[in-house]
């Protein structure tokens, strides 16, 4: 089938593009290249350089390409920047999503796959976090993703657009940059490569769920034909402290410089990890890459660059 992939030139989007191509699908990329790079796109993917906040440009692309499915990865995921400038972040992540939804309905796209985030849950009340947990974001990025999910559900309910929502845990892997949401792995490796001790905020005992990017790409493949009308947590279901993460990064890189310590960051939560049983049950998906395995692959990729 033909898939229009927004944000295809970014870290995660480019891996999803590769998975779709490997499965025999036709992939068309839509990206304004504000954070992504055309060099990330695999061969055979046609790029439309378009800002998703521009309805006429979006309509023109969907009219010309007539995709059966739109996968929406395009977003501003720089949490610090969105916190400083909420209007800009909401314009991209919410208004841009609404513009895309309207174009999908006008051009009779069959299905939308919408990418969301663990940030929609905020500071979890219960662990592990399942999909029934209330959406209670505590930062602007989380608000933008939660509101985007709600708009997707509105269009699915009123315009008949099929939709699946994928909520990502902390993603890591090749092509990641440190400034994006969940970029702590890239930040640690950047510091070690530069001969600096990585910076660890708070006491480092806060936990997160780290999932390898190619595992997520497989979930996007499953969502093409499954999961209509539902949201899915995508992670490993394993909590890893930031201190333990740094130790794992040091093992994978063969470098150990200790850690620089910093105060707790505003809005930093103590613990979060996913219950992913719904994705296993309904999408036939589960993460299969261990943290050590994924970090070794990431280090090998960085050194190959």
pLDDT of residue 182: 82
Structure tokens at 152: 């997707």
Structure tokens at 141: 């990025």
CB 157 within 8 A of CB 112: no
Catalytic residue among 141, 168, 172, 273: 141
For 192, counting Cβ atoms within 10 Å of its Cβ (0-12 exposed, 13-18 middle, 19+ buried), the class is: buried
Give the pLDDT confidence of 72-97 residue by residue, as tens digits.
999 999 998 999 999 999 999 999 99
If we measure between CA atoms, which residue out of 211, 259, 264 comes closest to residue 233?
Answer: 211
Non-local CB neighbours of 235 within 8 Å, separated by 6+ positions: 118, 168, 169, 170, 209, 210, 211, 273, 274, 276, 287
Distance between CA atoms of residues 58 and 112, nearest Å: 15
pLDDT of residue 130: 98
Distance between CA atoms of residues 170 and 168, nearest Å: 7
Distance between CA atoms of residues 110 and 68, nearest Å: 5
How far from 116 is each of 128, 227, 251, 274, CA to CA, in Å?
A: 18, 15, 31, 14
Distance between CA atoms of residues 30 and 20, nearest Å: 15
> In sequence order, what are the beta bridge partners of 206?
none
Give the pLDDT confidence of 194-253 residue by residue, as tens digits.
999 999 999 999 999 999 999 999 999 999 999 999 999 999 999 999 999 999 999 999
Distance between CA atoms of residues 235 and 194, nearest Å: 30
Residue 181 has pLDDT above 80, yes or no: no
> What integer is the mean pLDDT of 121-133?
98
Residue 283 has pLDDT above 90, yes or no: yes
pLDDT of residue 305: 84
Non-local CB neighbours of 109 within 8 Å, separated by 6+ positions: 4, 62, 67, 68, 69, 70, 103, 161
Bond into 27 cis (ω within 30): no
**CATH assignment of 2-171+212-235?**
3.40.50.720
- Its sign, for the CA torsion 230, 211, 51, 139, is positive
Every domain of the chain and the residues it spans = 2-171+212-235, 174-207+239-273+289-304
CB 244 within 8 A of CB 202: no
To the nearest whole number, what is the mean pLDDT of the chain? Answer: 97
Question: Considering the domain 174-207+239-273+289-304, what is its CATH architecture?
Answer: Alpha-Beta Complex (3.90)
Of all residues in the chain, what percent carry a pLDDT higher than 70?
Answer: 100
Distance between CA atoms of residues 4 and 283, nearest Å: 21
| Annotation marks residue 141 as catalytic | yes
Give the pLDDT confidence of 26-82 residue by residue, as tens digits.
999 999 999 999 999 999 999 999 999 999 999 999 999 999 999 999 999 999 899
CB 217 within 8 A of CB 73: no
If we measure between CA atoms, which residue out of 219, 174, 202, 197 comes closest to residue 267?
Answer: 202
């Amino acid at each position: 089938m033909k898939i229009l992939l927004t944000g295809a030139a970014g870290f995660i989007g480019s891996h999803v593009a590769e998975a779709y191509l490997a499965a025999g699908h036709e992939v068309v990329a839509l990206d304004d290249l504000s954070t992504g790079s055309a060099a990330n796109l695999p061969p055979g993917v046609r790029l439309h350089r378009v800002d998703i906040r521009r309805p006429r440009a979006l309509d023109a692309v969907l009219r010309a390409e007539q995709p059966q499915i739109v996968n929406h990865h395009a977003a501003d995921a720089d949490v610090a920047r969105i916190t400083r400038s909420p209007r800009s972040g909401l314009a991209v992540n919410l208004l841009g999503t609404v513009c895309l939804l309207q174009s999908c309905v006008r051009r009779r796209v069959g299905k939308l796959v919408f990418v969301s985030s663990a940030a929609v849950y905020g500071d979890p009340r219960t662990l592990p976090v399942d999909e029934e947990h209330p959406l209670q974001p505590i930062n602007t990025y989380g608000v933008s993703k939660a509101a985007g999910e709600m708009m997707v559900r509105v269009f699915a309910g009123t315009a008949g657009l099929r939709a699946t929502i994928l909520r990502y845990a902390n993603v890591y892997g090749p092509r990641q940059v440190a400034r994006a949401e969940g970029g702590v792995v890239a930040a640690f490796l950047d510091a070690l490569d530069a001969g600096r001790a990585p910076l660890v905020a708070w006491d480092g005992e806060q936990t997160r769920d780290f999932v390898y990017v190619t595992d997520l790409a497989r979930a996007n493949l499953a969502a093409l034909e499954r999961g209509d009308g539902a949201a899915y947590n995508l992670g490993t279901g394993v909590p890893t402290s930031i201190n333990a993460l740094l130790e794992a990064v040091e093992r994978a890189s063969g470098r150990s410089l200790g850690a620089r310590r910093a105060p707790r960051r505003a809005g930093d939560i103590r613990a979060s990890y996913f219950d992913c049983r719904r994705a296993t049950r309904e999408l036939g998906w589960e993460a299969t890459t261990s943290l050590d395995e994924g970090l070794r692959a990431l280090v090998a990729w960085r050194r190959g660059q």
